[in-house]
Structure 1
Amino acid sequence: MTVYTERAKGSPVADFIAENAQILSIAVFFLACVLVFTAGTPTFLTAGNILNVLRQAAPILVVAVAMTFVIVTGGIDLSVGSQVALINALAAIVMAAGLPWPLAALAMLALGAAIGFAQGWFIAYQGVPAFIVTLAGLSILRGFALWMTEGYSIPIKDAAGFFWFGRGDLLGIPVPALIAVLAAVIGYVVLHAARYGRRVVAVGSNMEAARRVGMPAQWIIASVYMLCGVASAAAGLLIAARLGSGSSNAAVGFELQVIAAVVLGGTSLTGGRGTIVGTVLGTLTIAVIGNGLILMHISPFFTQIVTGAIILVAIWLNTRFFNTRLRLPGLKGGRSK
């Protein structure tokens, strides 16, 4: 006769490390990057450079928070860079045509929501794989941006209030960074404490089971892409406000950075598990690497190699290591005959 016993009570420290292994690992990696670049260049850890890193990382973090919800459902959005470029260019065009910037901003956010929902409708209600839909969106939306601007940059004039969102600061902190922090806080509360967040996790874990217990699974999937569209529009507006212009060439490779930040932060590509704290750390890591390499006079093109390598390693850790429960002292279960 086989007798099963309960798992022995483990060490609180060991339990904490096991439950937060992914976040702790990216935190350690982030600190290691900071130490390396601090030793490599004296300008890295200056206040001016840190604020610059936060300002540049803000659009990535805003979209990465929304992308976390998408990936938690088991999906992916490859079109976010093209969405940012389209909104960035179109915002400049409509403001140059005389539309007040508050109305232009609201219109762009609404357009971002519409684009995101359109893609989500194909994915959730028509059963087209997210990879295919968003890959098509990547091409279509960037094409529209190029067609509208003819490849030129569109300057934005007489919009001081709009520029404040991209260039201003509040209590010494860049406004874009404050907006990104607000997005991260809202994302954390929604994902970890709200009913909507629990439904997102449930759909990502087992869509059929979620549907059978009465959850609007298809709507949940469509809604996360709509959320990603709104976030992409906000990022496009932040970039336009910072640069004072709109361009169809904005945010090239943006989707790579966003996905790298989310995956590096520990969100599972198979769905059902994600963390906003990890996404924040992943975004800061990507931003620090890009900034540090430039300060060390390493080719900016090398950052693409580093980003790609980070994605590969993160996915490998995700599938080969973190999907298996860490075996630490004090966590061993018991079974005896």
Structure 2
Amino acid sequence: MALECHSKAISGLRRHLESSPVQQEVALCCMLLLHIFEKFGDGQQRPSDAHVKSARGYFLHRFIQFPPTNMRHILQLESLIYRIAVTSLFQPREESIKDCAFLDKFVDIWAVSSIRCGLWRHSLWIGLQPSTFNAVFKLSVLLRRLPLNELQLAELERVVEYLPQHLPPHRALPLQSADGDRELGDDYRPTLTLDDQSHAAHCLFSSACWIVMAKTWHSATTQNQELIRELSLSGYCWLNYLIQAGFFSPVLLWPAIIIGLAASTVEERNTVTTYVHALAHASGLRASASVIRLFKTAWEGVNGGESVGIDVLFDSEALATVFI
């Protein structure tokens, strides 16, 4: 019954859009509802985000013509920047994957806007700025464009300059993890303020971005493994800390994926798997299941093949199975 209603909804929406204009807010609501069905559905067919990709181009065009004038528009713009960034490694769009500066103009539109969303925006994105998501996007595009030409290398260097200025040091650890003399019981549950949540989010994105950076600079599998190991250990400490605190945000799925691909011990894999499973209620069962399958491919190989770990980032077919 649900699948039948879903098919009717798509057909009806297509006919309506073809026959008459529709307000952007109405169209956005329809697209998001269809995407929610894809994320939380349990059908056997491979999920699709074609409807969201179609809406994305329309709304980005609108923002160029008409900059945001209220909080709702700003949140829409932030959502589009975020979504393009975190999906570009897995489900890239044709026009954006060839241009790592694709999001620059939209981040600039956001930056010059006098509208701010205060606490709501802070809690929605855990304090992360669109410029950080733009760095995620650039790294994802550049990783797919290897080997890089001079212009692309210059863009990568700009990202290298950006990260330490806007994200914490990639070796930052939770205070509880840094304090080796403190014994934590199994029932320990830290209470996180909004600032604590934001700091943890920034640290996770820092670790994940530097991991992708390391693989982009040194695509050979034997180089920079020590740095990647150090970065991933920091990420596991933060994920374990957030698990103890019971803080699970779908915004942190992207760094959890990158950090998880570098996992090499059972404990590390259990930590990242626990975090991704806990996101099923917010990110959707299909999303979390697709990530777990990618982990299995990275950790166990395919058909008894050798484990590839973080180098699965160079396997576009495997990455394309992730639906977030």
Asked whether the two chains share a fold, i.e. TM above 0.5, the reply is no
Which has the higher relative contact order, 1 or 2, with Cα contacts under 8 A spaced 6 or more apart? 1
What's the TM-score, normalizing by structure 1? 0.27
